[in-house]
Amino acid sequence: MNNIDNNKEDKNTEENIWKIRDRIQKLEVIKDKIIEFLIKSEKLDGINRDMWISDVKEFYYNVVSAWEMLNSAMRGKITRLDDARSFLHGARSRLAQSTSEIRTFNNDEASKLILIAESNFEDCWDAFYSVFNLLIPSNKVVEFISEVIAISDTLYRLPCSVCGETAVEFKIGYGRFDKEESLVFTGITHSRSFNKNLANELFKILKNKDLLGIHNFLKKYHGYEGLDAYCPECNKIYCWEHYNAREEFDDGFYDCTYGVCPYGHKRMIDD
């Protein structure tokens, strides 16, 4: 591609980023309408009203921050691309929390607000991802991705089968609240520590690159959902983004997280 073509492509990308602002303005309008709805509600006490208003504001400001990071990525700070995606995923989570709160009013006005907010955000999401796909550096394209990467005898990583980014890590070390060395698991939804004595059992499975075995190990010692980044039907690992992970809320409180893999297989990955 010559310089003229590159300049045209850059200009088109910049224009697409700028047009996202129009979608963000629509989100600002619906954000203000939701806040107005919450303020006039007699159902809420002052504490809950403030909390729910804060949730919808956080949703909106996450989108704004995603746009700012995307704009920086376009101007050469390509590392900000990951920050943009993180803010956008954070916005989707906060929107899910806010809509679960609004849904408790169970009336037509609340339903209309939810419908508009979700529809406008999906338009915004699609616009962001059209630009993400243009800005992803070519050197991030991975031709072969190993199921399990042994960094050392006590540190293993499971990369996403789509992008190659680390989705899961197992290591001997210290979790956040550990006073002694543990077997530490870090997944796409949460982290936790296991008794260090279980390490030999797990590491044998990891050395064999047995993803189903790892899943069953976590089902046995952790919980029914097993390995959160794993799709049993695909026998593949996915990161948060490529598992299309979505948090669900009930009356504003976290309920669970579902994942839908690129092939459409859906399951609960955290409860």
pLDDT in tens, 8-49: 455 677 788 888 999 999 999 999 999 999 999 888 888 889
Q: Are residues 118 and 228 in the same domain?
A: no
The answer to whether residues 97 and 55 belong to one domain is: yes
Final residue belonging to a domain, choices 96, 114, 138:
138
Q: Which domain holds residue 68?
A: 3-138
Pair 92, 163 in one domain: no
Q: Mean pLDDT in the chain?
A: 88
Report which DSSP code applies to 139. Answer: G
State whether 83 and 155 are in the same domain: no
Residue 25's CATH number: 1.20.1440
Give the global pTM.
0.79
Q: Are residues 184 and 100 in the same domain?
A: no
Instruction: Note whether 156 and 261 are same-domain residues.
Output: yes
The pLDDT of residue 215 is above 80:
yes
**What is the number of structural domains in the chain?**
2
More confident: 252 or 65: 65
Q: What pLDDT does residue 7 have? A: 42
Mean pLDDT of all residues in 231-241: 94
Q: Which of 88, 111, 138 is the last residue of a domain?
A: 138
Q: 32 and 80 share a domain? A: yes
Q: Are residues 259 and 237 in the same domain?
A: yes
- Does residue 89 sit within a domain? yes
Report H helices in the chain.
3-40, 46-74, 80-102, 108-135, 199-207, 211-221
Both 179 and 125 in one domain: the answer is: no
Summarize the confidence of residues 56-74 as an average pLDDT. Answer: 93
pLDDT band at 4 (very low <50, low <70, confident <90, very high): very low
My answer on whether 171 and 229 are in the same domain is: yes
Closest by Cα among 114, 58, 89, 81 to 259 = 89
131 and 154 assigned to the same domain: no
Q: Is 144 inside a domain boundary?
A: no
- Report the pLDDT averaged over residues 71-82: 80
Check whether residue 165 and residue 112 sit in a common domain: no
Does residue 143 form part of some domain? no
| In-domain check, residue 62 | yes
Beta-carbon contacts of residue 90 (< 8 Å; ≥ 6 apart): 62
- Domain final position from 114, 138, 162: 138
- Residue 230 predicted with pLDDT over 60: yes
In percent, how much of the chain has pLDDT > 70?
A: 93
Give yes or no for residue 218 having a pLDDT over 80. yes
Which residue has tokens 């059992």? 201
For residue 9, how many other CB atoms are within 10 A of its CB?
A: 12
Triad 69, 73, 78: Cα angle to 5°: 120
